[in-house]
Chains A and B, each alone.
Chain A
Amino acid sequence: MTEGPDAPLRTAELPPAVRLGALPLRALAVISCAILFLMMTLTFIDVSGRYLFNSPLPALAEIISFMMAGLVFCVLPMVCFREGHVTIDLLDGVVPQRLKRAQGVFINVVAAGAVLFIAWRLWVKAMTHLEFEEATDELYMDIWPFSTGMAILCVLAAVAQLAAAAAYLIGARDDPARASGRAT
């Protein structure tokens, strides 16, 4: 799963306004990293606590499941801005050079629409959580702040995806083939 381990966030090529706009993305990505590291550490402490001191961390499974959501949605805006999603690039050689920018705008607008759609559905979900005062099983935490947070981060991701579309529009990016995410 290494598609350019040290791939720099390609901000240098963008105008200052966009670069400034990327700041929140970086900040959120740092949060996501912190969550991941914490998740690893907590799991380690939990298991060693269980076997060495016979005292596991309470309700860790529940905490980790919410950390998962934080981990995914905090880094999502940056993934969207970098166009780090999995795509099929089989036709890259066929698409004529002059259409590349239009293609870049198209795919990012469609993607932004999809992300925004998810954000909307999560928001509606969050509102039902609020309305019915749903809480978690073990710690009795309210769920709505989490689902609302997910929805808001998702909106931000859609904005980031639109920013990527804009980058093609103003010519800061010119070929979707140079930004490709791959998994596994």
Chain B
Amino acid sequence: MTVALLGFAALLTLSFLRVPIAFSMIIVGFIGMSWSMNLEGALANVGQTAFDAAINYELSVVPLFVLMGNFVTRARLSEELYTASNAFLGHRKGGLAMATIVACGGFSAVCGSSLATAATMSKVAMPSMRRYGYDDGLAAGAIAAGGTLGILIPPSVLLVIYGILTQTNIGKLFAAGVIPGIVGIVFYLMAVRAVITIWPALGPRGDRTDWRGRLLALRDVWGVLTLFVFVMGGIYGGVFSPTEAAGIGAFGAFVFAVARRTMDWRGFYAVLLESAATTAMLFTVLIGALVFANFINFTTFPQTLLDIAANFEDNPWLVLAAILLIYVLLGCVFESLSMILLTVPIFFPLIKELGPGFVPPFWHMITGQAPPMWDLIADVGLGLNATEVAVWFGIVVVVITEISLITPPVGLNVFVLRGVLPDVRTTTIFRGVTAYWIADLFRLTLIVAVPTLSLLLASYVR
């Protein structure tokens, strides 16, 4: 236990000194392992881990989805999405911000990264919102918050990594992300509505589009729609494996980018290089996290946690609440991927152990027994089975990671916007994002309390 805590302390110290997290984890993990196991074992472990992580068919899904997202970005499918959602929502009060959120959700359906979604949508949505005199905070907040949907609505690079870490079916995870993603969009729309009700001047009405124009605009999003239906439909229907779907999706996005003449040779190379570099970056973090996790597993730390959790067997929600609190705190400091890689190996066994105890809570509190209503809706009334708890926890982790993306002081999505919109102050964006952040808390509560939201679609995936 002490060794593990010392390890975490050392890891944090090195990382705060700005040593890349991947290398901090490798160094601390190796030293810790040679301490708690022995030198030869630790040495062999590092080589084996690096080799196994790199030569891995399963993981090839990562670069391919990254590539797909980058091609989609280059193909500028974002513009049609924004025009279409604007045609439907723009004439309302705060309508352009609402349109931004819906468009972000649509873009998330073909892009697996939150930062990419935020960066792309900001280029399309921000100028238009400014033209109509929207408040910078509300506008930038909509993009930053809407962008976070990128890692929840499939495809999602983060869900892929979670799936590989926990041996959970990626198709199921992707299916599970759909409804919580839609809930996210609805809640964000409500947040805009609430802000506009209180401060009507922040988001004036835009132009109204007639139904002809709306249908025309809708016709233009066929590109995104085709790609999504093909890739996700293929995974849901069991036609492709996630890797194959990623390859096909990347190819489709490539064809779009070429056909729309939005990509020259330089752009083509930039997309490939960026995707390759991102992959290498992800892999070093992955190797580091695996080494570090191996070290932690050699200490008494996981067992101690399990023992503590065993005391709460009757009330697993308390354990979950504690875990979520830790995520919120870590999210203030850590970048999302390293956070997931660090914590999931530790918390996942815990949650899995407690799985059967997760009876949807509110009825439980009122009636003191498992709610019969839930038995009718889905088979979660008597607690979750191993697969269900894995899928549901994955969604919960991703949603809380989304929140960390817009939480100060680090909130990466906010900083991406800062990069794209240098004239908007960081504090302005954080102020504007507050309403969405509150909406996120409601969504998190809902998704935690009602596992059915995540599990409904997932149960149809083989």
Find A68's partner among B59, B67, B115 (CB 8 Å cutoff): B59
Q: Confirm or deny: A22 has a beta carbon within 8 angstroms of a beta carbon on chain B.
A: no
Contacts of B295 in A (CB 8 A): none
Q: Distance in Å from the Cβ of A98 to the closest Cβ of chain B?
A: 16
Q: Confirm or deny: A152 has a beta carbon within 8 angstroms of a beta carbon on chain B.
A: no
A73 CA / B26 CA spacing, docked (Å): 17
Contacts of A71 in B (CB 8 A): 63, 276, 279-280
Find B272's partner among A36, A86, A107 (CB 8 Å cutoff): A36
Q: Are B50 and A183 in contact (CB under 8 A)?
A: no
Q: Distance in Å from the Cβ of B367 to the closest Cβ of chain A?
A: 41
Q: Distance in Å from the Cβ of B72 to the closest Cβ of chain A?
A: 11
Given known contacts A47-B240, A72-B280, A106 and B17 CB-to-CB distance under 8 angstroms: yes
Q: Distance in Å from the Cβ of B196 to the closest Cβ of chain A?
A: 31
Contacts of A41 in B (CB 8 A): 251
A61 CA / B244 CA spacing, docked (Å): 10
Given known contacts A47-B244, A86-B20, A118-B287, A1 and B69 CB-to-CB distance under 8 angstroms: yes
Interface string of B302-343 (1 = CB under 8 A from A): 000000000000000000000000000000011111100000
Q: Are A2 and B247 in contact (CB under 8 A)?
A: no
Given known contacts A5-B274, A184-B336, A69 and B23 CB-to-CB distance under 8 angstroms: no
Contacts of B54 in A (CB 8 A): 68-69, 72-73, 150
A87 CA / B419 CA spacing, docked (Å): 17
Q: What does DSSP make chain A's interface, helix, strand, loop or mixed?
A: helix
Q: Are B337 and A183 in contact (CB under 8 A)?
A: yes
Q: Are A91 and B281 in contact (CB under 8 A)?
A: no
Q: Are A44 and B251 in contact (CB under 8 A)?
A: yes
Q: Distance in Å from the Cβ of B317 to the closest Cβ of chain A?
A: 28
Contacts of A78 in B (CB 8 A): 277
Residues 259 to 290 of chain B near chain A (Cβ within 8 Å):
269-285, 287
Given known contacts A85-B22, A118-B50, A183 and B282 CB-to-CB distance under 8 angstroms: yes
Given known contacts A64-B60, A68-B60, A85 and B284 CB-to-CB distance under 8 angstroms: yes
Contacts of B243 in A (CB 8 A): 43, 64
Residues 92 to 121 of chain B near chain A (Cβ within 8 Å):
113-116, 119-120
Q: Confirm or deny: B43 has a beta carbon within 8 angstroms of a beta carbon on chain A.
A: yes
Q: Are B269 and A33 in contact (CB under 8 A)?
A: yes
Find B273's partner among A29, A44, A87 (CB 8 Å cutoff): A29
A181 CA / B17 CA spacing, docked (Å): 15
Residue of A nearest to B111 (CB): A1
Find A184's partner among B115, B269, B419 (CB 8 Å cutoff): B115
Interface size on B, residues (CB 8 A): 79
Residues 118 to 140 of chain A near chain B (Cβ within 8 Å):
118, 121-122, 124-125
Interface string of B64-83 (1 = CB under 8 A from A): 10110110010000000000
Q: Distance in Å from the Cβ of A73 to the closest Cβ of chain B?
A: 7
Find B116's partner among A1, A64, A79, A107 (CB 8 Å cutoff): A1
Q: Are B281 and A69 in contact (CB under 8 A)?
A: no
Residue of B nearest to A78 (CB): B277
Contacts of B195 in A (CB 8 A): none
Find B51's partner among A82, A122, A176 (CB 8 Å cutoff): A122
Residue of A nearest to B116 (CB): A2
Residues 394 to 420 of chain B near chain A (Cβ within 8 Å):
409-410, 412, 419
Residue of B nearest to A104 (CB): B18
A67 CA / B54 CA spacing, docked (Å): 9
Q: Confirm or deny: B297 has a beta carbon within 8 angstroms of a beta carbon on chain A.
A: no
Contacts of A29 in B (CB 8 A): 273, 276-277
Find A181's partner among B16, B281, B409 (CB 8 Å cutoff): B281
Given known contacts A33-B276, A89-B18, A121-B50, A47 and B412 CB-to-CB distance under 8 angstroms: no
Given known contacts A72-B280, A110-B27, A121-B50, A1 and B113 CB-to-CB distance under 8 angstroms: yes
Q: Are B244 and A121 in contact (CB under 8 A)?
A: no
Q: Chain A residues in contact with chain B, CB under 8 A? A: 1-6, 29, 32-33, 35-37, 39-44, 46-47, 51, 61-62, 64-69, 71-76, 78-79, 82-92, 103, 106-107, 110-111, 113-115, 117-118, 121-122, 124-125, 146-147, 150, 176, 181-184
Query: 4 new A-B pairs (CB below 8 Å) besides A69-B54, A147-B51, A184-B115?
Result: A4-B419, A85-B284, A107-B17, A122-B47
Q: Can you name 21 A-B pairs with beta carbons within 8 Å? A: A1-B157, A33-B273, A35-B276, A36-B272, A40-B251, A41-B251, A43-B244, A44-B248, A64-B57, A65-B55, A68-B54, A79-B277, A79-B281, A86-B21, A90-B333, A110-B14, A110-B23, A124-B43, A146-B55, A181-B20, A182-B115
